[in-house]
Structure formats: C-alpha cells, structure tokens
Amino acid sequence: MGLTRLRAFLRRHRRIALDTSVFIYQLEANPAYVALTDAVFEFVARSGNSAVTSTITMTEILVQPHRSMEEDRADEFYALLTTFPHLEWVPPDLAIADLAARLRATHGLKTPDALQVATATKSGATALITNDNRLAELPELETAVLDELR
C-alpha cells in the first residue's frame, strides 16, 4: 500500500529533493525501507525526472565509513552517488544559507535540515522525501515521510 502511495506522490512531480535518510536506507538495503527507496531511485533514474540534495548529505553519508576506517566503502558510496543519473548535488551558496537561516528562525529547524529544505527550494524541487516528520509540516514543499508510507 505504501508503495502505491509513494508512486502516486512521485507522479505529481518531476524534480524532487532527497533527505539523507533516503540514501542511507538504500545504501544499507534497510529491509524496512528498501522497497520504498528502490522506487525513489527508479523514479530519479528515469528520463524526465530529477532529484536534488545538498552536499551536506554526502557529509552525513560518509561519516560512518570513515569512522569505521572503511575507506573502500566510503569511496564506493562516493563514486556511486556522484555518478547516479539525474541526481544533482548542490553546495550551499549565500542564497541557500540565507533561506536556511530564515527556516531555522521561523520553524526551529536544525542547520542540516534547514539546508536540505533551502537547497530543495532554491533548486526548483517541488517535493521532498524524508523520514523526518517535522519537515512535513513545512509549507515550502510537498513532503513524503517514509515511515508514513510503510
């Protein structure tokens, strides 16, 4: 049922934003979420669709492999994610930083979350996929929360 709802959500959009959790669940093949994240990445890979994420996502993804001193794993993640079709990695610029600060001030978000939403908004995404239900409350983007789709 959740997969049907996710696919309906994705059909309403052409450019989506992905929060870090989506990548982590996919890379770890997390059994609770992998069917959903498979559908997300299949959507992104199709011609005419695209996704955006902040470069802060890469920082968050690579912490564990570096902490575990698994440099080959970190390199594998980096290579896979930076070459994934139709996925854009956006570094924060001053416009994103300003919007992130405004989001922090008005919604009480943590900096990484504010940067994700600001990146999505400034990059033309119309939707966000996350597992953080606090982000679903923001009016800036239509949001799908993975836990609500399971």
**At 68, phi and psi to the nearest 5?**
-85, 0
Give pLDDT tens digits along the chain (150 positions). 699 999 999 999 999 999 999 999 999 999 999 999 999 999 999 999 999 999 999 999 999 999 999 999 999 999 999 999 999 999 999 999 999 999 999 999 999 999 999 999 999 999 999 999 999 999 989 999 999 998
Q: What pLDDT, on a 0 to 100 scale, did the predictor assign at position 1?
A: 60
Q: Is 107 left (phi over 0), alpha (psi -120 to 50) or beta?
A: alpha
What does 65-133 look like in DSSP terms, one character per residue? Answer: HHHTT-HHHHHHHHHHHHTSTTEEEE---HHHHHHHHHHHHHH---HHHHHHHHHHHHTT-SEEEES-T
Q: What pLDDT, on a 0 to 100 scale, did the predictor assign at position 150?
A: 86
Residue 87, beta-bridge partner list? 51
Q: Look at the domain 2-149 and name its fold.
A: Rossmann fold (3.40.50)
